[in-house]
Amino acid sequence: MRYTQVFPKTKREAPKDAVAVNHKLLVRGGYIDQLMTGSWTLLPLGWRVVTKINNIIREELDAIGCLEMLMPLMHPKEIWNETGRWDGADAIMYKIQDINSKKQYALSFTHEEIVMDLLRKHISSYKDLPVAIYHFSTKFRNEARPQGGILRGREFLMKDLYSAHTTNEDMKQFYEKVSQAYVKVFERIGFEVYVTEAAGGVFTENKTREFQVVAEAGEDTTFICDSCRWCANKEIFQDTNSKIQKCEKCGNEMRSERTIEVGNIFPFGDKKYAEMMKVGFTDKDGVKKLVHFASYGIGVSRVMGTAVEVWNDGKGIIWPEAIAPFRAHLVGLKDSTDIYKRLTEAGIEVLYDDTNRGAGEKFADADLLGMPVRLVVSERLGDKLEYKKRNEDKAEILSFEEILTRLKG
Amino acid sequence: MRYTQVFPKTKREAPKDAVAVNHKLLVRGGYIDQLMTGSWTLLPLGWRVVTKINNIIREELDAIGCLEMLMPLMHPKEIWNETGRWDGADAIMYKIQDINSKKQYALSFTHEEIVMDLLRKHISSYKDLPVAIYHFSTKFRNEARPQGGILRGREFLMKDLYSAHTTNEDMKQFYEKVSQAYVKVFERIGFEVYVTEAAGGVFTENKTREFQVVAEAGEDTTFICDSCRWCANKEIFQDTNSKIQKCEKCGNEMRSERTIEVGNIFPFGDKKYAEMMKVGFTDKDGVKKLVHFASYGIGVSRVMGTAVEVWNDGKGIIWPEAIAPFRAHLVGLKDSTDIYKRLTEAGIEVLYDDTNRGAGEKFADADLLGMPVRLVVSERLGDKLEYKKRNEDKAEILSFEEILTRLKG
């Protein structure tokens, strides 16, 4: 893409109220824009990042047999009343009233109740199970203090998956499969991810599993056992002020880190949702049973913010290849249309700075925007190009063919 | 995909309240499910259709330089007040109040105001223009009587595009480009589409352009001139009861048809939105001017419904290739795992009925679900397969290689 066609252009200054690094850099880079507190437009560059995150998730979930769909966002009050969450999730859920009709609805902060309503309409026999369905959709959460840029918003994008099974064993097996798929997703992006034991919040009284990434901006504290790799959210320990905890699995001392929760998975079994909403099936022997249910979430816009928190320097973002909006940033210090075309035709995603600005501004933009590779074309270099990785200082002078080989590798 | 893994399975009976063909067939086929009046889950098969529609739109819009993004759905009242549409679009817009905080918001029924707010924050010079940004996102419309299955819902999926330009001429040129891109989109799907002059409703007092498809279930009446191809929505004629109208362009008599509006485009210029929200730029001579603005919508879930209205018979849906969830429906009257694998490995999207049901039920499902090609594997046929197009009666007995050639062709 030509930079002259990108909307909007980069900014020199971060918003005055910005504290978190992702807030500053994503706004300056033109990745996101704030509509109101906790509510962000994912601008074209940001949307490219989120699309890549979504595609990685989609590939890993489809690989274990999950089906993509799309559920509505405005929900009938009655369904949320069935589990008591119309009032029980009050602190986080937007309960709204249509000003004209006075009718009351919930805006989706999650979809357990809605999925369960769907399942009970369509499942009757054990032959209809298991089911694993997911969607990428907007979530609304009435956060008292949205903060951390796009780490905690009132409206954001989430991938949520729901599965239902005939037995608890089957559910547990699938729960492990999803857990492994999540680890793959986060590792493909480039994160070092800690699978962490945690409490269930407004979702369940069971223990749940969170996927945590170490970052200063994180709101969570995770205890990590480097010996056996067992991790636990601080909230599940009795003495929450202690900075040292012993590992429950191997007894070694755990280190404590500030972390960002990028995913979480909830094993509900046949309690709560299945029980209260009467979601059942008839088994092989004609006996009526409740389904065993679980849900699984990844905050995809939060993942983008986390990536920026983890990979940045004083100059800007340093995207990992897997989710970078473009593979390379082509800085044209003379007309580079030909190079741009040849790279594009070779299937390389290139952001081509075709503006008439000076070299300094162009280099600053390349650093701010953070594509994995910067290419420079200039009179001085003749037919060759300068090749520099965003996360290295070393620059090399290479031929077009050498660069193509590297970018395709 | 194996049919045993599909959720949910087909149903013999349509919902009792279903009148529209798309309502009956999409529900029976497991493409959609109603959460509440006017609100539908796009189930996995339905989501596959919508994804294909979205990808066609994406390709055609990207080809003319549009940028994809994602804007929020819950909007500040203040912004809608700037154009008077907080009250002016009352009949259609959900104005909501958070039951807890008492704060008031609009739920997006369109995004003109939100885009304009974004533009005025990021545009200052003529160099920042033109801009053409779009998203696929949920729309909420407070329809008094949602009807026609997914043709008119209270919550649905839309692609909306917005463009801003330095001059009216530039806007008009781009407006024509989008108009042509829309025609390409609808023709790629397989529709005969009529580009129709219409009124602007709650959007504008200018004439607008609608994209209409002839179908009995349509709520619109379109006058079509077969001589010069000029078309007009009945609503713009003075004598709205007349069944005959003369073409304003060539004077010939126009025929009247029931149609479904699948897209519409609005040329606002620098009036209304730009004026009221003060969205301007500085031109080459340092003069401050207002941007020339236009918006463009395609109801993507409605497009799916329209396809079903246009292509069906007594037995079920007849998907056109471009948006069929699968290219072929493989009916296995004996184990066909090998054929299924070979087709899949060859890149053919196949729905494989691997259930233990009888031939009659399987054939009925294939007709109901409507994939373009049905393949049958049975003992009787030996190594060969039966190949039958959904829209033809003729069945042929062919080798696997012959079938592969046809499916790839």
pLDDT tens digits, one per residue of A343-384: 999 999 999 999 999 999 999 999 999 999 999 999 999 999
For residue A276, what are its two tokens?
């209260």
Residue A126 included in any domain: yes
Least trusted range by pLDDT, from A324-338, B239-253, B363-377: B239-253
pLDDT for the residue B242: 82
Nearest Cα of chain A lies from the Cα of B289 at a distance, in angstroms, of: 19
Under an 8 A CB cutoff, do B96 and A100 touch? no
**Three state DSSP letters for chain A:** CEHHHCCCCCCCCCCCCCCCHHHHHHHHCCCEEEEECCEEEECHHHHHHHHHHHHHHHHHHHHCCCEECECCCEEEHHHHHHCCHHHHCCCCCEEEEECCCCCEEEECCCCHHHHHHHHHHHCCEHHHCCEEEEEEEEEECCCCCCECCCCECCEEEEEEEEEEECCHHHHHHHHHHHHHHHHHHHHHHCCCEEEEEECCCCCCCCCEEEEEEECCCCCEEEEECCCCCCEEEHHHCCCCCCCCEECCCCCCEEEEEEEEEEEEEEEEECCCHHHHHCCEEECCCCCEEECEEEEEEECHHHHHHHHHHHCEECCEECCCHHHCCCCEEEEECCCCHHHHHHHHHCCCCEEEECCCCCHHHHHHHHHHHCCCEEEEECHHHCCCEEEEECCCCCEEEECHHHHHHHHHC
Under an 8 A CB cutoff, do B72 and A41 touch? yes
Query: A149 pLDDT exceeds 90?
Result: yes
State whether B344 and B226 are in the same domain: no
| Closest residue to B72, CB basis, from A40, A69, A133 | A40
The CATH number given to whatever domain includes residue A385 is 3.40.50.800
State whether B257 and B398 are in the same domain: no
Report the domain count for chain A.
Answer: 2
Find, in chain B, the residue whose alpha carbon is nearest to that of A116. Answer: B35
Residue A319 included in any domain: no
State whether B257 and B401 are in the same domain: no
Rounded Cα gap, residues B249 and B282, in angstroms: 39
Q: What is the pTM of this model?
A: 0.97
| Closest residue to A74, CB basis, from B43, B68, B155 | B155
pLDDT for the residue B176: 97
Query: A240 pLDDT exceeds 90?
Result: no
pLDDT-based confidence at residue A145 (cuts at 50, 70, 90): confident
Residue A1 included in any domain: no
Nearest Cα of chain A lies from the Cα of B247 at a distance, in angstroms, of: 41
**Three state DSSP letters for B35-72:** EECCEEEECHHHHHHHHHHHHHHHHHHHHCCCEECECC
Average pLDDT, chain A: 96
Task: Among B26, B50, B99, B126, pick the best mutation site for testing chain A contact (most A Cβ within 10 A).
Answer: B99
Chain segment B363-373, per-residue pLDDT in tens? 999 999 999 99
Nearest Cα of chain B lies from the Cα of A211 at a distance, in angstroms, of: 26
Query: A301 pLDDT exceeds 90?
Result: yes
The CATH number given to whatever domain includes residue A257 is 3.30.930.10
State whether A387 and A268 are in the same domain: no
State whether B383 and B265 are in the same domain: no
Chain segment B149-195, per-residue pLDDT in tens? 999 999 999 999 999 999 999 999 999 999 999 999 999 999 999 99
Nearest Cα of chain B lies from the Cα of A401 at a distance, in angstroms, of: 28
| Closest residue to A33, CB basis, from B73, B105, B118 | B118
User: Which residues of B are less than 8 Å from A71 in CB distance?
Assistant: 35, 41-42
pLDDT for the residue B244: 85
Mean pLDDT, residues A213-228: 96
State whether A18 and A110 are in the same domain: yes
State whether A45 and A177 are in the same domain: yes
User: Which residues of B are less than 8 Å from A2 in CB distance?
Assistant: none
Q: How far is CA B384 from CA A35, A90, B337, B353, in A?
A: 60, 61, 15, 17
State whether B309 and B372 are in the same domain: no
pLDDT for the residue A207: 85
State whether B114 and B57 are in the same domain: yes
Query: A321 pLDDT exceeds 80?
Result: yes
State whether A174 and A246 are in the same domain: yes
pLDDT for the residue B204: 72
Residue B338 included in any domain: yes
Residue B321 included in any domain: no
Domain's final residue, options B259, B280, B313: B313
Rounded Cα gap, residues B385 and B363, in angstroms: 15
Chain segment B195-208, per-residue pLDDT in tens? 999 987 777 777 89
State whether A208 and A239 are in the same domain: yes
Domain that includes residue A39, residue range: 11-313
Under an 8 A CB cutoff, do A133 and B9 touch? no
Q: How far is CA A163 from CA A75, A158, A178, A406, B230, in A?
A: 20, 16, 10, 42, 52
State whether B27 and B98 are in the same domain: yes
Residue B124 included in any domain: yes
Rounded Cα gap, residues A194 and A192, in angstroms: 7
Residue B371 included in any domain: yes
Residue A121 included in any domain: yes
Query: A204 pLDDT exceeds 80?
Result: no
Under an 8 A CB cutoff, do B41 and A101 touch? no
User: Which residues of A are less than 8 Å from B42 in CB distance?
Assistant: 69-71
Domain's final residue, options B270, B289, B313: B313
> Whose CA is closest to B194, among B210, B206, B180, B178?
B210
| Closest residue to A44, CB basis, from B50, B69, B137 | B69
pLDDT for the residue B205: 75
pLDDT-based confidence at residue A208 (cuts at 50, 70, 90): very high
Mean pLDDT, residues A115-143: 97
Cβ-Cβ contacts under 8 Å between A and B: the total is 153
